[in-house]
Structure 1
Amino acid sequence: MKKAAIILIQAVGTFTILASALPLLTFEEWYVRVFDFPRMQLLAMALLSLVLFLWLGTRHRKRDKALLAGLGLAVVYQAINIFPYTALAPVQVKQAEEDSTPQNELSILVSNVLMPNKNHYALISLIQNLNPDMLLLLESDSVWQEALATTTAKYPYRIEIPLANTYGMHLYSQLPLRQKRIRYLLEKDIPSIKTYVKLRNGVWVELHAVHPKPPVPMEDPNSKKRDAEIVLVASDISDSKYPVVVAGDFNDVAWSRTTALFQEVSGLLDPRVGRGLFSTFNANYPMLRWPLDHVFHSDHFKLVQIERLPYINSDHFPIYIKLSFAPENEYEQEEPEADEDTHEEAIETIQEGVEEAKKN
């Protein structure tokens, strides 16, 4: 039994080391990029394998030492990736003052509803309880649009894109919108939204909503188009003269190179840094969760509240955020910066995505 246990630990440990190393490669194939996602799970597997092998295994052979060294490196590497999304790390976005005035606030509820989900009332209940200024629905079709019609009636400003391909998108706002643009950045059936929302204090904020395809066999064999769409939005934002908010299901995790590139090019901040993972997917499997749904914003804002909301029968948890416009403190928060290498990587990422889209 002990020998069998050691063999199993060695197999799991070897897999964990390989799975930790694969994302370091620059390949965009799905079977490489998929290991960007389970950082927390791989950390747990590496740590458990390391402890168990130290307890049960031998340590005098070269291969034993190599396994232990590899597991130790995997633990350190995964911990470094996850550390910014723990309460031990410094926050990237400062907390708003307690007397933050509603005139300066913007609240958004983002929900990937899961198109076949029929439990409309669960989301309706959240909307009624929270009364967000803006509501962004993803994977929403005409059935969802009709089911929420009574609830969304109080949102006079809207952009509705009901689609039956799981990439529908609905944006509802209690605040005025202008220049409402539906864009198909790389594919004719994958929309994104760019618009401007007017805060109660009169300030206009540039808002982007995104939902690119994930790099999985059923959708895309590689991440080129997803990465390019994310970076295209970042490039658009980089020249903006407005406060900016970007929300949506990136189908990418907060700690991936692509999301880091997005932040460096756009200069936007992540309110989760220093506060927690806020893992929104997969809602059905507690052991397989990671943060896919994001809200990034420019340094014009501070954070009032961020919360992962209860289960609504979707494979994603909704996420709610309330921001406070605080331009007088704009430079208190250190925004990510792009260097020459970052710009070159961004251009290359976009070119690869455009070329991939032309093939289809």
Structure 2
Amino acid sequence: MDLLQNVLFYTGLFIVMASLVPLIRHDFWIFRVFEYPRLQKLTVNLVLILIYVIFIPLNASREYVMLGVLCLNLAYLGWLIFPFTVLSGKQIVGSRKAPGDINIKLLIANVYQENKESDSYHTLIKQCNPDLLLMVETNKWWMEQMDRIGKDYPHQIKVPLENTYGMLLYSRFELVDGAVRYLVEDDIPSIETEVKLPSGDLVKLFCLHPRPPVPQENPQSTERDKEILMVAKKAKDTKGPTIVVGDLNDVAWSYTTELFSKISGLLDPRKGRGFFNTFNAKYFFLRFPLDHVFCSPDFTLTGINRLERCGSDHFPMCINLQYDPVALHKNDIPEATSEDKALAAEKIQAET
């Protein structure tokens, strides 16, 4: 019993520390990586509480203290992920009208560059039938495989790269003033364009895939955070409907993503609807929401789905948005405080 108590105590101590480490606003990867597994930490935390209550005699002050700390930590973690549960209010309301010429259906897929199951994506595209398709981690081989859809998706912006940061954008709708940007790093592209809906309305679109803060890629989150927040500022300055889409290599509940939402004023359609974890598709317990679509408050949500894996370590996401300016009065619009704006400006100006 003493061995079990010690294992529980030190496991509980680790979970609590792992929950508190992200409160340290440092760019080094060890502080950022613990933002990812909040749902996993909550699950382990709950299991530890149940084991304490059911199996461990609480006859020592150490056990009482740890049980109390775990209960507080459970409440804290629950509070952090609550906005992404179906119990929370929806940040973006559901569409009132049937899909039509003011809708735009987007499919985002991180294909995993070494993956060769391109036929699975062709099948997926037929099933989802998107208006716009963004594929990341795409090199020249992937471009050659996907160019077969060119007849149905004649408007294209393609940046095939061999460094796992290539991007392919295919669209049924006309792309206006499309451009490839290298906002922070000269080998990490982003795409900026306007999409002309069948209704004639122009939607500003930003496509991103910044480098993650992990030791084998980049030990700091500085570049990732800077790119995300630069686009947030661009989105805020955009007049008219705006969409940001991509694999941000950041979870939906991180403080950087929350800051992005506040600075940009864009909405997350997952809030109030579920986690929609897209990575890692290979391991059930290690999944996080890394692939994102954010939209301005003049959109409503017609549909959102996580699709079947096509050989990648990411699940594709399909999101159908409807442009409806009336929604401005119904959606829950995030607002940035002066502290948020100062922090964003500091991160944008940070040396990389």
TM-score by length of 2: 0.98
Match of 2:79 in 1: 80
Q: Report matched runs for 1:274-353 at 5 Å.
A: 274-352=272-350
Residue of structure 2 in register with 1:37 after alignment = 36
**Deviation, structure 1 residue 39:** 0.5
Partner of 2:11: 12
Whole-angstrom distance in 2 between the partners of 1:197 and 1:348:
31
Identity of aligned pairs, percent?
A: 42
**Aligned partner (choices 264, 268, 271) of residue 269 of structure 2:** 271
Say whether the 8 Å CA contact 1:100–1:324 is kept in structure 2.
no
Paired letter, 1:44: T
Distance in 1 (alpha carbons) for counterparts of 2:297 and 2:217: 34
Mean Cα deviation higher: 9-18 or 195-204 = 9-18
Q: Secondary structure at the match of 1:103?
A: coil
Amino acid at match of 2:119: Y
Structure 2 counterpart of 1:196? 194
Q: Deviations over 1:242-290 (max 9, x none)?
A: 2000000010001010000000000000100110000000000000001
Alpha-carbon distance, 1:106 to partner: 0.3
Distance in 2, Cα, partners of 1:305 & 1:101: 10
Is the CA contact (8 Å cut-off) linking 2:229 and 2:260 kept in structure 1? yes
Shift of 1:61: 3.4
Amino acid in structure 2 at the alignment position of 1:108: L
> Structure 1: how far apart are the matches of 2:31 and 2:61?
28
Please say if 1:168 is aligned against 2:179: no
| Secondary structure class of the residue paired with 1:148 | helix
* Aligned pairs (5 A) from 1:64-75: 64-75=63-74
4+ aligned runs moved over 4 Å, structure 1: none
Q: Is the 8 A contact 1:128 1:151 kept in 2?
A: no
5 Å-filtered alignment, 1:15-164, equals 15-97=14-96, 99-164=97-162
Provide the rounded CA distance (Å) in 2 between the counterparts of 1:334 and 1:117.
39
CA deviations 1:170-195 (Å, max 9, x no partner) are: 11100001111111111000001110
Q: Deviations over 1:99-127 (max 9, x none)?
A: 42411100000000000000111111011
How many Å apart are 1:222 and its aligned residue?
1.5
Distance 1:110 1:157 in 2: 16
**Partner SS state of residue 96, structure 1:** coil
Contact 1:311 1:317 in 2 (8 A): yes
CA apart distance, 1:60: 4.5
CA shift, 1:66, in A, is 2.7
**Structure 2 SS opposite 1:114:** coil
Q: Aligned partners of 2:112 and 2:337: how far apart in 1?
A: 38
In the alignment, which of 256, 259, 265 is matched to residue 257 of structure 2?
259
CA distance in 1, matches of 2:45, 2:345: 36
Aligned residue-pair number? 352
Shift of 1:58: 4.3
**1:112-149, CA deviations, whole angstroms, 9 ceiling, x for partnerless residues?**
00000001111110111222100000001110111112
Tell me if structure 1 keeps the 8 A contact 2:93–2:327. no
* CA contact 2:99–2:302 (8 Å) conserved in 1: no
Amino acid at match of 2:168: H
> C-alpha root-mean-square deviation of aligned residues, in Å?
1.1
Quote the Cα distance in structure 2 between the aligned partners of 1:200 and 1:341. Answer: 40
Could you tell me whether the CA contact under 8 Å between 1:19 and 1:35 is conserved in 2?
yes
1:248 — aligned with what? Answer: 246
Which runs of 5 or more structure 1 residues have no equivalent in the other structure? none
One of 203, 206, 215 as aligned partner of 1:217: 215
Q: 2: distance between equivalents of 1:339 and 1:318?
A: 34
For residue 186 of structure 1, what is the aligned residue in structure 2? Answer: 184
Question: In structure 1, what is the Cα distance between the partners aligned to 2:56 and 2:179?
Answer: 61
Letter in structure 2 aligned against 1:88: L
Secondary structure of the 2:130 match is coil
Q: TM-score, normalised by structure 1?
A: 0.95
More divergent stretch after superposition (177-186 vs 145-154): 145-154
